[in-house]
């Protein structure tokens, strides 16, 4: 039997989302735009643009471009995605990475499970200097970044590149992503996939661990 491989989307499953970071910025334009939006939106106050993204009616880039323009109009800096992301994510710091992600990568590597990151926007949203300072990027075996490959999830070619570089067949991967459209793209290729629930990270990590045959951690523990 072929050993499984762990494949992680970066923004969301590994890196805290802008929605979570904005919650700590009460009174700022970022807080007004992002707090309780996206995957954290309450049922009585939905985020229609996020719902369009999940349904595949708009792209993730389009969603964030619109949010960046609104942020600029509300008193933020330049009206582009990188400026808004830099405001939330600079400087690079350990607290930006989920402890559950660190534990999952560590446990997978310790048992010989190869680990890849499959992302659309790592270099589109962040500088090379910032990426170098986020240690977990250097802890995985392969990083496939759509922003430099010319293909974006859910395009099959990006998953194919990941498969080739990891040396693992689609059926032998376990893929974790917070975007429903990317999950659908992976499942169409036969990749076992788990949708990452930003509102309940522990449950998502537990499901991935079960599929990989790794011990499931107790909720709230960081390993």
**DSSP-assigned states of every residue in 87-124:** HHHPSP-GGGB-HHHHHHHHHHHHTT--EEEEESSHHH
- CB distance 121 to 148 below 8 Å: no
Higher pLDDT, 75 or 219: 75
Higher pLDDT, 15 or 43: 15
User: What is the share, in percent, of the chain residues with pLDDT greater than 70?
Assistant: 96
Q: How confident is the model at residue 2 (pLDDT cuts 50, 70, 90)?
A: low
Q: How confident is the model at residue 219 (pLDDT cuts 50, 70, 90)?
A: low
């Amino acid at each position: 039997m072929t050993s499984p491989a762990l494949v992680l989307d970066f923004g969301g499953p590994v890196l805290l989302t802008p929605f979570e970071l904005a919650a700590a910025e009460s009174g700022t334009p970022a807080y007004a735009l992002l707090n309780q939006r996206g995957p954290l939106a309450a049922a009585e106050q939905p985020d229609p643009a996020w719902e369009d993204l999940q349904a595949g009616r708009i792209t993730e880039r389009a969603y964030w471009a619109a949010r960046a323009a609104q942020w600029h109009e509300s008193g933020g800096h330049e009206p582009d995605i990188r400026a808004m992301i830099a405001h939330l994510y600079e400087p690079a710091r350990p607290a930006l990475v989920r402890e559950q992600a660190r534990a999952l990568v560590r446990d997978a590597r310790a048992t010989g499970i190869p680990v890849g990151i499959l992302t659309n926007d790592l270099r589109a949203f962040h500088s090379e200097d910032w990426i170098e300072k986020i240690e977990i990027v250097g802890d995985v075996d392969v990083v496939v970044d759509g922003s430099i490959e010319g293909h974006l999830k859910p395009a099959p070619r990006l998953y194919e590149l990941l498969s080739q570089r990891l040396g693992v067949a689609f059926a032998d991967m376990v893929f974790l992503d917070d975007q429903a459209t990317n999950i659908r793209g992976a499942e169409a290729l036969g990749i076992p996939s788990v949708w990452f629930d930003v509102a309940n990270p522990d449950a998502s990590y537990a499901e991935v661990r079960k599929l990989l045959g790794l011990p499931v951690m107790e909720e709230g523990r960081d390993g």
